[in-house]
């Protein structure tokens, strides 16, 4: 992956693509919201599946991966970067903004964070659960979220080791996936949580199994739609929204070594996908 001269990007037209990336395929859940809200915007998605899950890696390792992917996307002339990964946002968003926040370099960098605030507002009994990766739950960003928005509620957290890997393999309805979800949801339910945050972008793809496990009285919250709306707002503020009325091109890039990588991406995208190998 190579870098591009940053000062040249400001003269490019507004129909440049939006770059979106995740530790793997989970960020496709966010990409769907972006595509639904901004159907004429070209999208370029990078799945860093070879290094997934990020939750088990150090902040330094995650930051290095984010820099490499960001350089790749910037070299493709993207007009915005969406870090569609809670763990990557927690580890690297400040470093990414510091690196690319240069004069004349007008690219917004949008991150993710577990929806503690809306969950606290939605909860009726004041007990919320958070399903996330180890990396997200250990991050300073998550601690700050709890300090800011979790003071008046009880927050029960659960690291979901192995669940990302099931989704990376496309095992959305497999028995093993269901068993993991049942195992991880039980402590939250035992504590009485009436609202559960899906704190990883992979988890919306197994939402039906989570709903089956927790029941209809428990509210599930993720932030994909909110991120798409914020992206739209930032693009509008910077006059970066496309004027094209053409059907958008959505391209996927992956470094996955799995033979069925394209099949899994198409499965999660819910239609045939153009997938390029990195």
Q: Is 261 in contact with 49 (CB distance < 8 Å)?
A: yes
Check 85, 160, 185, 253 and give the catalytic one.
Answer: 85
Alpha-carbon gap, residue 9 to 105, rounded angstroms: 7
253 is catalytic: no
Give SS3 for 163: helix
Q: Is 48 in contact with 22 (CB distance < 8 Å)?
A: yes
Check 66, 160, 185, 200 and give the catalytic one.
Answer: 200
Report the DSSP pairing between strands 109-110 and 43-47. Answer: unpaired
Chain centroid offset of residue 197 CA? 14
Q: Is 141 in contact with 90 (CB distance < 8 Å)?
A: yes
185 is catalytic: no
Alpha-carbon gap, residue 122 to 212, rounded angstroms: 20
CB crowding 13-44: b at 16 or more within 10 Å, else e: eebbbbbbbbbbbbbbbbbbbbbeebeebbbb
Longest dimension (CA), the chain: 56
Alpha-carbon gap, residue 56 to 32, rounded angstroms: 26
Residues assigned a catalytic role: 85, 200
């Amino acid at each position: 992956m190579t870098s591009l001269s940053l000062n040249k990007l400001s003269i490019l037209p507004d129909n440049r693509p939006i770059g979106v990336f995740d530790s793997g395929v989970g960020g496709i859940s966010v990409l769907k919201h972006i595509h639904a809200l901004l159907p004429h915007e070209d999208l370029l998605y990078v799945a860093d599946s070879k290094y997934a899950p990020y939750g088990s890696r150090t902040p330094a390792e995650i930051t290095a991966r984010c820099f490499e992917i960001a350089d790749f996307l910037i070299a493709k002339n993207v007009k915005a970067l969406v870090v569609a990964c809670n763990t990557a946002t927690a580890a690297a968003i400040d470093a990414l903004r510091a690196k690319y926040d240069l004069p004349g370099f007008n690219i917004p960098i949008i991150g993710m964070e577990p929806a503690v605030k809306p969950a606290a507002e939605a909860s009726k009994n004041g007990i919320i659960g958070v399903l996330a990766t180890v990396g997200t739950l250990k991050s300073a960003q998550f601690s700050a979220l709890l300090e800011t928005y979790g003071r008046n509620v009880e927050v029960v957290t659960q690291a979901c080791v192995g669940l990302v890997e099931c989704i990376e393999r496309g095992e959305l309805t497999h028995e093993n996936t269901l068993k993991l979800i049942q195992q991880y949801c039980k402590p939250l339910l035992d504590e009485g949580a009436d609202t559960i945050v899906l704190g990883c972008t992979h988890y919306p793809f197994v939402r039906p199994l989570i709903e089956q496990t927790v029941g209809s009285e428990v509210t599930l919250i993720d932030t994909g739609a909110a991120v798409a709306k914020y992206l739209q707002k930032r693009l509008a503020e910077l006059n970066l929204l496309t004027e094209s009325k053409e059907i958008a091109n959505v391209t996927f890039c992956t470094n996955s070594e799995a033979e069925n990588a394209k099949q899994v991406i198409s499965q999660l995208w819910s239609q045939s996908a153009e997938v390029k190998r990195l």
